[in-house]
Chain A
């Protein structure tokens, strides 16, 4: 396991490096499995990279000890973006590359929605929206004394589920300052734009009025994400929400901000075009 980790979790892996690699992997996985949700994955890849990267990632974690007591906990409540989490974890050395090829296949460990059973690094099986935050509240409660932090990633459409709001009401009362929610606010849910289905604005005001510390960032700007995570809790004794403004399908021009890419899988041609774009963007950012 040590060698595996050293090999695939290079000491110089920055969040930008990790996001680049994960974007490519996600596209390949989704293409091979003919799976949905690529748009949902691409909007949160940068957030995951900011959390997990070896060189500068915010989470306290160690792929060599996936269940260490010192680890922070990350819960992927938007379970349909599983490919993004699996790609990130694999690139950090939690499990072999080859597993990603089995995504959604017969007998695979890697289900279409986050599966924790037998998958190192995945804390909770999710897929039915609205479950991750209540569980995250319980985990944060249990870890309050030990200082471990709990990060829960929600989608915007997911906030339609009332179960979240039960927890959003409760968490400040429990003074869970070790709890951080990140909302992947890509403005599109699964049958339309958020503003057309159930408008969430004024989003920041809602959370503030419920007693949370609120921060807003560009969800594709790693530096901003990191700063926001470092500032949490930005309100004494209260949980924090980071509203990450993102773009569904970010990184692939023909996928960006489009509902259809919640469902469609890229064909061979589209995959190739997408990979070229991502490569170009990465090379450019590295040169800057």
Chain B
């Protein structure tokens, strides 16, 4: 994802002189091309995120559109007040990019797990919050952010995430890209963990449950009407995010459902406050209960609870010759 990010940014920068990039001493083997092509539009601010963000704000005040770039919580939590007071309060075109949202840097340990960023960024005025699930969404979001008037936050994965969208993604603030149709339950996922939701949906289909899967690449402004609409056609919405329970995608959906009461029950699948585990993103997803198996379990539980239906209990069994057992 980070490769697609920098390629898209470089392409846009070739035609738009305003685009500048400030990094916090990170981006090795990623940012070099941009830095070489546009030396006057690139600054390595060093391991100094408050400086990085303040500088970005000031540079933006002179007419630039400035991207900041670092890992996990460094470009957000470390300099939250700068984002709030210098960037957001002045509605400046500073686009904050974090590589490694969620557990993308799982093996690096807790300091590199981004679990509160969506919540923090969402609470700031004028700030758009974007969280792509794959490189297709990533490219679309970079372009969308350039059209967005003011500050924006882009929570990237890392690299080599599988492409989940076969074609173009229609990014808009009034809808969720639909990856799978189904209304027995609906998964709404943000970030690379969308892949686990898709796997879970396929597994549920084998049990006779048709799960819809939508992606939530834009969390602020949030497609509130679309949430309500989904809430009217399904008994259960499961949100899925590599993020704290507090203030992320699940909370955003909860806010809408509580205020509009369309009828669906909400189940939030999220990271526990602290996952006492170290490992790859896949390992961490499992430790956090966000892998496909866990999502299937929670989906079935929620469906049964909501509908009282028990048609989805057994996994499929092989038909043996002569038997009349159902498949």
Contacts and interface: CB of A to CB of B under 8 A. Distances in A.
A35 interface: no
Contact of A170 (B46, B53, B56, B64): B46
B51 A141 contact: no
Nearest to A115: B89
Greatest chain B CB density within 10 A among A125, A134, A139 is at A134
B50 A166 contact: yes
A140 B86 contact: no
A138 B60 contact: yes
Interface in B56-88: 56-64, 66, 81-82, 85-86
Contact of A131 (B45, B48, B54): B54
B85 to A, nearest CB: 6
A141 B54 CA distance: 12
Contact of B43 (A124, A140, A141, A163): A141
A138 B63 contact: no
A270 interface: no
B48 A137 contact: no
B50 A141 contact: no
A170 B23 CA distance: 13
Contacts of B48: 166-167, 169-170
B207 interface: no
Contacts, number: 88
Nearest to B94: A138
A125 B55 contact: no
B90 interface: yes
A135 B50 contact: no
Nearest to A125: B89
A170 B62 contact: no
A138 B46 contact: no
A189 B134 CA distance: 51
Contacts of B51: 134, 137, 163, 166-167, 170
A66 interface: no
A128 B59 contact: no
Contacts of B66: 138
A169 B45 CA distance: 10
A143 interface: yes
Interface in B5-58: 43, 45-46, 48, 50-51, 53-58
Given A163-B51, A166-B50, A135 B89 contact: no
A280 interface: no
A125 B61 CA distance: 13
A6 to B, nearest CB: 29
A72 to B, nearest CB: 13
B85 A128 contact: yes
Contacts of A131: 54, 81-82, 85-86
A136 interface: yes
B56 A138 contact: yes
Contacts of B60: 138
A138 B50 contact: no
B50 A163 contact: yes
Given A124-B90, A169-B46, A170-B46, A134 B55 contact: yes
B55 A137 contact: yes
Given A116-B90, A124-B86, A143-B62, A133 B54 contact: yes
A192 interface: no
A139 B62 contact: yes
B61 A138 contact: yes
A135 B92 CA distance: 12
A142 interface: yes
B46 A135 contact: no
A223 interface: no
A136 B81 CA distance: 16
Interface in A76-129: 116, 123-128
A19 B53 CA distance: 34
A169 B47 CA distance: 11
A174 interface: yes
A141 to B, nearest CB: 6
B54 A135 contact: yes
B224 to A, nearest CB: 28
Contacts of B59: 138-139, 141-142
Nearest to B89: A125
Contacts of A127: 85
Nearest to B91: A117
Q: Most A CB atoms within 10 A — which of B45, B55, B89?
A: B55
Given A128-B85, A166-B48, A135 B62 contact: no
B188 to A, nearest CB: 36
A46 B53 CA distance: 31
A137 B50 contact: no
Given A131-B54, A166-B51, A170-B51, A139 B61 contact: yes
**When A and B form their complex, which 6 residue pairs have the shortest distance between CB atoms, in order from nearest?**
A138-B58, A134-B54, A142-B62, A166-B51, A166-B48, A138-B55
30 contacts: A116-B90, A125-B89, A134-B54, A134-B55, A135-B58, A135-B86, A136-B58, A137-B55, A137-B58, A138-B55, A138-B56, A138-B57, A138-B60, A138-B66, A139-B59, A140-B58, A141-B59, A142-B63, A142-B64, A162-B50, A163-B51, A163-B82, A166-B45, A166-B48, A167-B48, A167-B51, A167-B55, A169-B46, A169-B48, A170-B55
Given A127-B85, A135-B86, A166-B50, 5 more contacts: A126-B85, A128-B81, A130-B50, A163-B54, A170-B46
Interface of A: 116, 123-128, 130-131, 133-143, 162-163, 166-167, 169-170, 174
Interface of B: 43, 45-46, 48, 50-51, 53-64, 66, 81-82, 85-86, 89-90
